Amino acid sequence: MGGYFGVVSKDDCVNDLFYGTDYHSHLGTRRGGLAVHDGAGCTRFIHDISNAQFRSKFEQDVLKLKGRMGIGVISDTEDQPLIIGSHLGNYAIVTVGRIANAAELVRKAYSLRSAHFSEMSGTEINPTELAALYINQGATFAEGIEIAQNAIAGSCSMLLLTDKGVYAARDKLGRTPLVLGRKPGAYAATMESCAFPNLGYEPFRDLGPGEIVRLTPEGVETVALPRSRCQMCAFFWVYYGYPASTYDGVNAEEARYRCGAALARRDPTPVDVVAGIPDSGTGHAMGYALEKRVPFRRPFVKYTPTWSRSFMPQDQPTRELVARMKIIPIKELIQGQRLLFCEDSIVRGTQLRDTVRRLFDYGAREVHMRPACPPLIFGCKFLNFSRSKSELDLAGRRAIKELEGQEGPPPPEYSQPDSPKYREMVERIRHRLGLTTLQYQQLDDLVNAIGLPRERLCTYCWDGRE
Ligand code: SF4
Protein backbone atom coordinates (compact mmCIF):
# COMPACT_ATOMS: atom_id res chain seq x y z
CA MET A 1 0.00 0.00 0.00
CA GLY A 2 1.62 3.22 -1.20
CA GLY A 3 1.59 6.77 0.07
CA TYR A 4 2.60 10.30 -0.90
CA PHE A 5 3.87 13.59 0.47
CA GLY A 6 3.86 16.97 -1.26
CA VAL A 7 5.26 20.28 -0.04
CA VAL A 8 5.48 23.94 -1.10
CA SER A 9 7.68 26.31 0.84
CA LYS A 10 9.18 29.79 0.83
CA ASP A 11 12.52 28.08 1.55
CA ASP A 12 14.13 24.92 0.26
CA CYS A 13 11.73 22.00 0.76
CA VAL A 14 13.98 19.00 0.14
CA ASN A 15 14.54 18.00 3.78
CA ASP A 16 10.80 18.01 4.53
CA LEU A 17 10.09 16.12 1.32
CA PHE A 18 12.67 13.43 2.11
CA TYR A 19 11.50 12.73 5.65
CA GLY A 20 7.83 13.37 4.90
CA THR A 21 7.82 10.78 2.12
CA ASP A 22 9.65 8.30 4.34
CA TYR A 23 6.99 8.55 7.08
CA HIS A 24 4.63 5.88 5.70
CA SER A 25 3.66 2.34 6.62
CA HIS A 26 5.84 0.80 3.86
CA LEU A 27 3.65 -2.30 3.63
CA GLY A 28 4.81 -4.37 0.68
CA THR A 29 5.85 -1.37 -1.40
CA ARG A 30 8.53 -1.82 -4.04
CA ARG A 31 9.34 1.64 -5.40
CA GLY A 32 10.02 5.07 -3.99
CA GLY A 33 10.45 8.37 -5.79
CA LEU A 34 11.02 12.08 -5.28
CA ALA A 35 10.56 15.03 -7.66
CA VAL A 36 11.54 18.62 -6.94
CA HIS A 37 10.75 21.78 -8.92
CA ASP A 38 13.68 24.18 -8.90
CA GLY A 39 11.84 27.04 -10.60
CA ALA A 40 12.90 25.99 -14.09
CA GLY A 41 11.67 22.39 -14.17
CA CYS A 42 11.38 19.08 -12.33
CA THR A 43 14.20 16.76 -11.30
CA ARG A 44 13.33 13.31 -10.03
CA PHE A 45 14.85 10.15 -8.60
CA ILE A 46 13.24 6.70 -8.43
CA HIS A 47 14.61 3.63 -6.64
CA ASP A 48 13.69 0.03 -5.99
CA ILE A 49 12.99 -0.14 -2.24
CA SER A 50 11.76 -3.74 -2.09
CA ASN A 51 14.83 -4.86 -0.17
CA ALA A 52 16.13 -1.60 1.26
CA GLN A 53 14.89 1.23 3.38
CA PHE A 54 13.67 4.33 1.58
CA ARG A 55 16.08 6.66 3.36
CA SER A 56 19.18 4.63 2.57
CA LYS A 57 18.30 4.68 -1.14
CA PHE A 58 17.68 8.42 -1.36
CA GLU A 59 20.16 9.98 1.07
CA GLN A 60 22.70 10.71 -1.68
CA ASP A 61 20.05 11.98 -4.12
CA VAL A 62 18.70 14.59 -1.75
CA LEU A 63 22.14 16.26 -1.73
CA LYS A 64 21.63 16.93 -5.45
CA LEU A 65 18.08 18.27 -5.13
CA LYS A 66 17.20 21.90 -4.55
CA GLY A 67 13.85 23.64 -4.83
CA ARG A 68 10.82 25.03 -3.05
CA MET A 69 8.19 22.56 -4.25
CA GLY A 70 8.28 18.79 -4.37
CA ILE A 71 6.31 15.56 -4.31
CA GLY A 72 7.34 12.10 -3.16
CA VAL A 73 5.82 8.66 -3.28
CA ILE A 74 6.04 5.19 -1.82
CA SER A 75 4.66 3.07 -4.63
CA ASP A 76 3.29 -0.48 -4.75
CA THR A 77 5.07 -1.63 -7.90
CA GLU A 78 5.25 1.09 -10.51
CA ASP A 79 7.89 3.73 -11.09
CA GLN A 80 6.84 7.19 -9.89
CA PRO A 81 6.90 10.22 -9.98
CA LEU A 82 6.47 10.56 -13.74
CA ILE A 83 7.40 13.79 -15.47
CA ILE A 84 4.83 14.61 -18.13
CA GLY A 85 5.06 17.11 -20.98
CA SER A 86 1.61 18.32 -22.07
CA HIS A 87 -0.35 21.30 -23.34
CA LEU A 88 -0.98 22.12 -19.64
CA GLY A 89 2.78 22.53 -19.17
CA ASN A 90 5.36 20.14 -17.79
CA TYR A 91 4.45 18.53 -14.49
CA ALA A 92 5.33 15.63 -12.21
CA ILE A 93 2.66 13.28 -10.89
CA VAL A 94 2.28 10.57 -8.24
CA THR A 95 -0.82 8.44 -7.58
CA VAL A 96 -2.01 5.95 -4.98
CA GLY A 97 -4.88 3.54 -5.54
CA ARG A 98 -5.94 0.92 -8.01
CA ILE A 99 -7.36 1.60 -11.46
CA ALA A 100 -9.75 -1.33 -11.71
CA ASN A 101 -10.86 -0.48 -15.26
CA ALA A 102 -7.34 0.12 -16.63
CA ALA A 103 -7.83 -2.21 -19.62
CA GLU A 104 -10.97 -0.35 -20.69
CA LEU A 105 -9.33 3.07 -20.27
CA VAL A 106 -6.32 1.95 -22.31
CA ARG A 107 -8.61 0.69 -25.08
CA LYS A 108 -10.44 4.01 -25.16
CA ALA A 109 -7.15 5.90 -25.20
CA TYR A 110 -5.85 3.87 -28.16
CA SER A 111 -9.07 4.46 -30.06
CA LEU A 112 -8.12 8.15 -30.21
CA ARG A 113 -5.09 7.04 -32.29
CA SER A 114 -2.90 9.71 -30.77
CA ALA A 115 -2.21 8.12 -27.35
CA HIS A 116 0.82 6.09 -26.45
CA PHE A 117 2.45 4.83 -23.26
CA SER A 118 6.18 4.95 -22.65
CA GLU A 119 6.47 3.74 -19.03
CA MET A 120 5.64 0.12 -19.83
CA SER A 121 6.92 -2.66 -17.61
CA GLY A 122 6.65 -5.76 -19.83
CA THR A 123 3.06 -5.61 -21.03
CA GLU A 124 1.88 -3.64 -17.99
CA ILE A 125 0.92 -0.02 -18.40
CA ASN A 126 2.01 2.28 -15.61
CA PRO A 127 -1.28 3.36 -13.92
CA THR A 128 0.13 6.79 -13.09
CA GLU A 129 0.83 7.38 -16.78
CA LEU A 130 -2.72 6.27 -17.55
CA ALA A 131 -4.10 8.79 -15.05
CA ALA A 132 -1.90 11.50 -16.61
CA LEU A 133 -3.24 10.69 -20.07
CA TYR A 134 -6.77 11.48 -18.87
CA ILE A 135 -5.65 14.58 -16.96
CA ASN A 136 -4.13 15.88 -20.20
CA GLN A 137 -7.58 15.86 -21.81
CA GLY A 138 -8.61 18.84 -19.65
CA ALA A 139 -8.28 22.51 -20.55
CA THR A 140 -6.84 23.12 -17.06
CA PHE A 141 -5.28 20.93 -14.37
CA ALA A 142 -8.50 21.14 -12.35
CA GLU A 143 -10.64 20.04 -15.28
CA GLY A 144 -8.16 17.32 -16.25
CA ILE A 145 -8.04 15.86 -12.75
CA GLU A 146 -11.84 15.74 -12.67
CA ILE A 147 -11.88 13.97 -16.05
CA ALA A 148 -9.45 11.38 -14.67
CA GLN A 149 -11.41 11.00 -11.42
CA ASN A 150 -14.65 10.41 -13.31
CA ALA A 151 -13.09 7.94 -15.75
CA ILE A 152 -11.33 5.81 -13.13
CA ALA A 153 -13.13 2.94 -11.38
CA GLY A 154 -11.41 1.65 -8.25
CA SER A 155 -9.55 4.50 -6.63
CA CYS A 156 -6.94 7.13 -7.38
CA SER A 157 -5.64 9.91 -5.15
CA MET A 158 -2.86 12.04 -6.58
CA LEU A 159 -0.38 14.90 -6.26
CA LEU A 160 0.76 17.00 -9.23
CA LEU A 161 3.86 19.17 -9.11
CA THR A 162 3.42 22.11 -11.51
CA ASP A 163 5.15 25.45 -11.91
CA LYS A 164 2.06 27.04 -10.29
CA GLY A 165 2.13 24.91 -7.14
CA VAL A 166 1.22 21.41 -5.99
CA TYR A 167 -2.25 20.07 -6.82
CA ALA A 168 -3.59 17.56 -4.32
CA ALA A 169 -6.68 15.50 -5.25
CA ARG A 170 -8.31 12.87 -3.08
CA ASP A 171 -9.93 9.86 -4.72
CA LYS A 172 -13.52 10.64 -5.77
CA LEU A 173 -14.93 8.32 -3.09
CA GLY A 174 -12.24 9.20 -0.56
CA ARG A 175 -10.97 5.61 -0.25
CA THR A 176 -7.53 6.82 0.75
CA PRO A 177 -6.94 9.83 3.00
CA LEU A 178 -5.32 13.13 2.10
CA VAL A 179 -4.44 15.48 4.93
CA LEU A 180 -3.14 19.06 4.74
CA GLY A 181 -0.61 20.55 7.14
CA ARG A 182 1.01 23.94 7.54
CA LYS A 183 3.85 25.70 9.29
CA PRO A 184 5.14 29.24 8.85
CA GLY A 185 6.14 29.61 5.18
CA ALA A 186 5.12 26.12 4.05
CA TYR A 187 2.16 23.87 3.28
CA ALA A 188 2.16 20.10 2.84
CA ALA A 189 -0.22 17.33 1.77
CA THR A 190 0.17 13.71 2.83
CA MET A 191 -1.61 10.40 3.13
CA GLU A 192 -0.12 9.70 6.56
CA SER A 193 -0.49 12.61 8.98
CA CYS A 194 2.21 11.00 11.17
CA ALA A 195 4.62 12.75 8.77
CA PHE A 196 3.72 16.14 10.24
CA PRO A 197 4.71 16.48 13.93
CA ASN A 198 8.46 15.90 13.64
CA LEU A 199 8.67 18.25 10.66
CA GLY A 200 6.87 21.03 12.50
CA TYR A 201 3.60 20.93 10.52
CA GLU A 202 0.21 21.36 12.11
CA PRO A 203 -2.48 19.26 10.38
CA PHE A 204 -5.38 21.59 9.68
CA ARG A 205 -7.81 19.73 7.45
CA ASP A 206 -8.62 16.56 5.54
CA LEU A 207 -9.63 16.84 1.91
CA GLY A 208 -13.14 15.51 1.24
CA PRO A 209 -13.84 12.84 -1.38
CA GLY A 210 -12.90 14.06 -4.84
CA GLU A 211 -11.80 17.45 -3.52
CA ILE A 212 -8.96 19.18 -5.38
CA VAL A 213 -6.76 21.94 -3.95
CA ARG A 214 -3.70 23.84 -5.11
CA LEU A 215 -0.95 24.47 -2.58
CA THR A 216 1.33 27.49 -2.90
CA PRO A 217 3.61 29.00 -0.24
CA GLU A 218 0.91 31.65 0.24
CA GLY A 219 -1.95 29.28 1.01
CA VAL A 220 -4.39 26.62 -0.13
CA GLU A 221 -6.84 27.31 -2.93
CA THR A 222 -9.87 25.02 -3.40
CA VAL A 223 -10.23 24.25 -7.09
CA ALA A 224 -12.95 21.57 -6.82
CA LEU A 225 -15.32 21.11 -3.89
CA PRO A 226 -15.66 17.76 -2.11
CA ARG A 227 -18.28 15.35 -3.40
CA SER A 228 -21.03 14.13 -1.12
CA ARG A 229 -20.41 10.34 -1.13
CA CYS A 230 -17.48 8.97 0.85
CA GLN A 231 -16.23 5.37 1.07
CA MET A 232 -13.04 5.67 3.12
CA CYS A 233 -11.29 2.32 3.52
CA ALA A 234 -12.01 1.10 7.07
CA PHE A 235 -8.86 -1.00 6.92
CA PHE A 236 -6.74 2.10 7.50
CA TRP A 237 -7.76 2.07 11.15
CA VAL A 238 -7.52 -1.70 11.48
CA TYR A 239 -4.16 -2.28 9.82
CA TYR A 240 -2.88 -0.16 6.92
CA GLY A 241 -2.48 3.09 8.74
CA TYR A 242 0.50 4.05 10.83
CA PRO A 243 -0.62 4.25 14.49
CA ALA A 244 0.37 7.91 14.83
CA SER A 245 -1.80 8.96 11.87
CA THR A 246 -5.25 10.51 12.03
CA TYR A 247 -7.70 10.14 9.14
CA ASP A 248 -10.92 12.11 8.82
CA GLY A 249 -10.43 13.18 12.44
CA VAL A 250 -9.94 9.67 13.88
CA ASN A 251 -6.53 8.57 15.15
CA ALA A 252 -5.53 5.02 14.16
CA GLU A 253 -4.04 4.01 17.53
CA GLU A 254 -7.07 5.28 19.47
CA ALA A 255 -9.41 3.43 17.11
CA ARG A 256 -7.38 0.26 17.71
CA TYR A 257 -7.76 0.62 21.49
CA ARG A 258 -11.52 0.91 20.98
CA CYS A 259 -11.49 -2.13 18.67
CA GLY A 260 -9.74 -4.17 21.35
CA ALA A 261 -12.12 -2.94 24.04
CA ALA A 262 -15.11 -3.91 21.89
CA LEU A 263 -13.70 -7.41 21.47
CA ALA A 264 -13.21 -7.69 25.23
CA ARG A 265 -16.77 -6.63 26.03
CA ARG A 266 -18.17 -9.55 24.03
CA ASP A 267 -15.72 -12.10 25.40
CA PRO A 268 -16.17 -13.97 28.69
CA THR A 269 -13.17 -16.30 28.08
CA PRO A 270 -10.91 -16.47 31.19
CA VAL A 271 -7.24 -15.96 30.23
CA ASP A 272 -3.96 -15.18 32.01
CA VAL A 273 -2.34 -12.88 29.49
CA VAL A 274 -3.33 -10.65 26.55
CA ALA A 275 -0.85 -9.99 23.75
CA GLY A 276 -0.72 -8.60 20.23
CA ILE A 277 0.72 -10.27 17.16
CA PRO A 278 3.52 -7.75 16.43
CA ASP A 279 3.26 -5.04 15.32
CA SER A 280 -0.22 -4.34 14.10
CA GLY A 281 -2.07 -6.41 16.72
CA THR A 282 -0.47 -4.50 19.59
CA GLY A 283 -2.85 -1.51 19.76
CA HIS A 284 -5.89 -3.79 19.62
CA ALA A 285 -4.42 -5.98 22.37
CA MET A 286 -3.75 -3.00 24.64
CA GLY A 287 -7.39 -1.92 24.28
CA TYR A 288 -8.55 -5.45 25.05
CA ALA A 289 -6.28 -5.84 28.09
CA LEU A 290 -7.31 -2.49 29.58
CA GLU A 291 -11.01 -3.20 29.13
CA LYS A 292 -10.78 -6.73 30.52
CA ARG A 293 -8.25 -5.83 33.25
CA VAL A 294 -5.96 -8.69 32.25
CA PRO A 295 -2.15 -8.22 32.11
CA PHE A 296 -0.75 -7.16 28.73
CA ARG A 297 2.50 -9.00 27.90
CA ARG A 298 4.80 -9.47 24.91
CA PRO A 299 5.37 -13.23 24.57
CA PHE A 300 6.65 -12.49 21.07
CA VAL A 301 9.03 -9.62 20.41
CA LYS A 302 9.84 -8.33 16.98
CA TYR A 303 13.51 -8.41 16.03
CA THR A 304 14.11 -5.02 14.42
CA PRO A 305 17.87 -4.22 14.61
CA THR A 306 18.79 -5.68 11.22
CA TRP A 307 15.59 -6.37 9.30
CA SER A 308 14.55 -3.39 7.25
CA ARG A 309 10.82 -2.84 7.45
CA SER A 310 10.39 -3.01 3.70
CA PHE A 311 12.35 -6.24 3.17
CA MET A 312 10.10 -8.21 0.86
CA PRO A 313 11.30 -11.51 -0.63
CA GLN A 314 9.72 -12.44 -3.95
CA ASP A 315 8.44 -15.94 -3.16
CA GLN A 316 5.88 -16.98 -0.55
CA PRO A 317 8.01 -19.64 1.27
CA THR A 318 10.85 -17.13 1.81
CA ARG A 319 8.35 -14.48 2.93
CA GLU A 320 7.02 -16.90 5.52
CA LEU A 321 10.52 -17.81 6.67
CA VAL A 322 11.40 -14.12 7.07
CA ALA A 323 8.15 -13.44 8.94
CA ARG A 324 9.05 -16.27 11.32
CA MET A 325 12.61 -15.05 11.82
CA LYS A 326 11.39 -11.55 12.63
CA ILE A 327 9.44 -12.53 15.77
CA ILE A 328 11.14 -14.23 18.70
CA PRO A 329 9.14 -16.13 21.33
CA ILE A 330 9.88 -15.68 25.05
CA LYS A 331 9.39 -19.07 26.63
CA GLU A 332 9.13 -17.69 30.17
CA LEU A 333 6.00 -15.72 29.16
CA ILE A 334 4.39 -18.57 27.22
CA GLN A 335 4.82 -21.76 29.24
CA GLY A 336 1.72 -22.88 31.10
CA GLN A 337 -0.23 -19.72 30.17
CA ARG A 338 -3.72 -19.23 28.80
CA LEU A 339 -2.79 -16.71 26.11
CA LEU A 340 -5.17 -14.46 24.21
CA PHE A 341 -3.80 -12.73 21.11
CA CYS A 342 -5.29 -9.83 19.21
CA GLU A 343 -4.47 -9.66 15.53
CA ASP A 344 -5.47 -6.95 13.05
CA SER A 345 -7.06 -9.49 10.67
CA ILE A 346 -6.68 -13.01 9.32
CA VAL A 347 -5.94 -12.97 5.60
CA ARG A 348 -4.60 -16.35 4.48
CA GLY A 349 -3.77 -17.61 7.96
CA THR A 350 -0.68 -19.56 6.90
CA GLN A 351 1.75 -17.55 9.05
CA LEU A 352 -0.68 -17.49 11.92
CA ARG A 353 -0.98 -21.29 11.90
CA ASP A 354 2.79 -21.52 12.25
CA THR A 355 2.75 -18.96 15.07
CA VAL A 356 0.06 -20.90 16.98
CA ARG A 357 1.99 -24.15 16.60
CA ARG A 358 5.11 -22.49 18.00
CA LEU A 359 3.17 -21.22 20.99
CA PHE A 360 1.97 -24.71 21.85
CA ASP A 361 5.50 -26.08 21.24
CA TYR A 362 6.70 -23.60 23.85
CA GLY A 363 4.21 -24.91 26.38
CA ALA A 364 1.21 -22.58 26.04
CA ARG A 365 -1.83 -24.08 27.79
CA GLU A 366 -4.41 -22.34 25.57
CA VAL A 367 -4.16 -19.99 22.59
CA HIS A 368 -7.17 -17.78 21.83
CA MET A 369 -7.30 -15.46 18.81
CA ARG A 370 -9.32 -12.25 18.52
CA PRO A 371 -9.04 -10.55 15.10
CA ALA A 372 -9.94 -6.85 15.24
CA CYS A 373 -12.19 -7.07 12.18
CA PRO A 374 -14.73 -9.60 10.86
CA PRO A 375 -13.72 -12.49 8.57
CA LEU A 376 -12.43 -11.26 5.20
CA ILE A 377 -14.55 -12.91 2.54
CA PHE A 378 -14.38 -10.51 -0.44
CA GLY A 379 -11.14 -9.50 -2.16
CA CYS A 380 -10.53 -5.74 -2.28
CA LYS A 381 -11.30 -4.22 -5.70
CA PHE A 382 -10.36 -0.68 -4.81
CA LEU A 383 -6.82 -0.72 -3.41
CA ASN A 384 -3.73 -2.88 -3.80
CA PHE A 385 -4.48 -4.60 -0.53
CA SER A 386 -2.67 -7.84 -1.29
CA ARG A 387 -0.58 -9.48 -3.98
CA SER A 388 -3.06 -12.34 -4.00
CA LYS A 389 -4.92 -12.81 -7.27
CA SER A 390 -7.67 -15.08 -5.91
CA GLU A 391 -10.33 -14.48 -3.27
CA LEU A 392 -9.98 -18.18 -2.44
CA ASP A 393 -6.65 -17.37 -0.78
CA LEU A 394 -8.68 -15.72 2.00
CA ALA A 395 -9.10 -18.07 4.97
CA GLY A 396 -12.81 -17.16 5.22
CA ARG A 397 -13.48 -17.73 1.56
CA ARG A 398 -11.67 -21.03 1.53
CA ALA A 399 -13.76 -22.23 4.48
CA ILE A 400 -16.95 -21.16 2.67
CA LYS A 401 -15.93 -23.08 -0.44
CA GLU A 402 -15.35 -26.19 1.63
CA LEU A 403 -18.68 -25.81 3.41
CA GLU A 404 -20.69 -25.03 0.29
CA GLY A 405 -18.85 -27.58 -1.84
CA GLN A 406 -18.45 -25.06 -4.66
CA GLU A 407 -16.96 -21.73 -5.59
CA GLY A 408 -19.11 -18.67 -6.17
CA PRO A 409 -20.40 -15.60 -4.35
CA PRO A 410 -20.80 -16.41 -0.65
CA PRO A 411 -24.38 -16.48 0.68
CA PRO A 412 -25.03 -13.37 2.83
CA GLU A 413 -25.37 -15.46 6.02
CA TYR A 414 -21.57 -15.79 6.14
CA SER A 415 -21.41 -12.07 7.01
CA GLN A 416 -23.99 -12.46 9.80
CA PRO A 417 -22.47 -13.46 13.16
CA ASP A 418 -25.77 -14.92 14.44
CA SER A 419 -26.19 -17.34 11.56
CA PRO A 420 -25.26 -21.05 11.71
CA LYS A 421 -23.28 -20.68 8.46
CA TYR A 422 -21.11 -17.95 10.00
CA ARG A 423 -20.44 -20.12 13.05
CA GLU A 424 -19.49 -23.09 10.86
CA MET A 425 -17.09 -20.93 8.85
CA VAL A 426 -15.40 -19.59 11.99
CA GLU A 427 -15.14 -23.08 13.45
CA ARG A 428 -13.49 -24.33 10.28
CA ILE A 429 -10.92 -21.51 10.37
CA ARG A 430 -10.30 -22.10 14.09
CA HIS A 431 -9.68 -25.78 13.45
CA ARG A 432 -7.31 -25.09 10.54
CA LEU A 433 -5.29 -22.65 12.63
CA GLY A 434 -5.13 -24.99 15.62
CA LEU A 435 -6.59 -22.43 18.04
CA THR A 436 -8.32 -23.05 21.35
CA THR A 437 -10.97 -20.44 20.49
CA LEU A 438 -11.46 -17.91 17.70
CA GLN A 439 -13.81 -14.96 17.97
CA TYR A 440 -13.91 -12.21 15.35
CA GLN A 441 -14.89 -8.59 15.76
CA GLN A 442 -18.44 -7.81 14.69
CA LEU A 443 -18.80 -5.27 11.93
CA ASP A 444 -21.07 -2.94 13.93
CA ASP A 445 -18.49 -2.91 16.74
CA LEU A 446 -15.71 -2.12 14.27
CA VAL A 447 -17.70 0.77 12.78
CA ASN A 448 -18.49 2.08 16.27
CA ALA A 449 -14.82 1.80 17.26
CA ILE A 450 -13.83 3.92 14.25
CA GLY A 451 -16.60 6.34 15.15
CA LEU A 452 -17.56 7.58 11.66
CA PRO A 453 -21.00 6.99 10.12
CA ARG A 454 -21.12 3.60 8.45
CA GLU A 455 -22.22 5.08 5.13
CA ARG A 456 -18.92 7.03 4.98
CA LEU A 457 -16.83 3.84 5.27
CA CYS A 458 -16.00 1.09 2.82
CA THR A 459 -16.66 -2.30 4.44
CA TYR A 460 -16.77 -4.29 1.20
CA CYS A 461 -14.16 -6.90 2.15
CA TRP A 462 -16.32 -8.03 5.08
CA ASP A 463 -19.90 -7.65 3.84
CA GLY A 464 -19.60 -7.31 0.06
CA ARG A 465 -21.60 -4.04 0.14
CA GLU A 466 -20.47 -1.48 -2.44
S1 SF4 B 1 -12.62 -3.54 0.26
FE2 SF4 B 1 -11.66 -3.56 2.29
S3 SF4 B 1 -9.49 -3.08 1.94
FE4 SF4 B 1 -10.63 -2.50 0.09
S5 SF4 B 1 -11.12 -0.33 0.32
FE6 SF4 B 1 -12.86 -1.48 1.12
S7 SF4 B 1 -12.45 -1.74 3.33
FE8 SF4 B 1 -10.53 -1.14 2.32
**Cα separation, 45 vs 43, whole angstroms:** 7
Contacts of 463 (CB under 8 A, 6+ apart): 374, 378, 415, 443
For residue 175, report the distance from its CA to the centre of ligand 1, in Å: 8
**pLDDT one-digit tens code per residue, 271-306:** 999 999 988 899 999 999 999 999 999 999 988 777
Q: CATH 3.60.20.10 region(s) of the chain?
A: 3-227
What whole-number percentage of the chain has pLDDT above 90?
82
Residue 403: which H helix or E strand, with range? helix 395-404
Atom of ligand 1 nearest to the CA of 459: 7
For residue 232, report the distance from its CA to the centre of ligand 1, in Å: 8
For residue 311, report the distance from its CA to the centre of ligand 1, in Å: 24
Q: What is the SS3 assignment for 330-367?
A: CHHHHCCCEEEEEECCCCCCHHHHHHHHHHHHCCCCEE
Ligand 1 within 6 A of 175 CB? Answer: yes
Question: 308 pLDDT band (50/70/90 cuts)?
Answer: low
The CATH T-level fold of domain 250-463 is: Rossmann fold (3.40.50)
Residue 325 and residue 43 in contact, taking contact as beta carbons nearer than 8 Å: no
Nearest to 13 by CA among 168, 189, 157, 141: 189
Ligand 1 within 6 A of 461 CB? Answer: yes
Question: 76 pLDDT band (50/70/90 cuts)?
Answer: confident
Report whether pLDDT(386) > 90.
no
Residue 326 and residue 297 in contact, taking contact as beta carbons nearer than 8 Å: no
Sign of CA dihedral 18, 23, 24, 27: positive
Q: Nearest residue CA, atom 8 of ligand 1?
A: 233
Ligand 1 within 6 A of 449 CB? Answer: no
Nearest to 400 by CA among 388, 414, 389: 414
Q: Which pLDDT belongs to residue 417?
A: 96
Residue 271: which H helix or E strand, with range? none
**Cα separation, 51 vs 279, whole angstroms:** 19
Q: CATH 3.40.50.2020 region(s) of the chain?
A: 250-463
Ligand 1 within 6 A of 234 CB? Answer: yes
Residue 195 and residue 5 in contact, taking contact as beta carbons nearer than 8 Å: yes
Name which residue leads in pLDDT, 199 or 406: 199
What's the mean pLDDT when you consider all of the chain? 93
pTM of the model: 0.94
Ligand 1 within 6 A of 142 CB? Answer: no
CATH 3.90.420.10 fits 3-227, yes or no: no
Report whether pLDDT(310) > 50.
no
Question: 309 pLDDT band (50/70/90 cuts)?
Answer: low
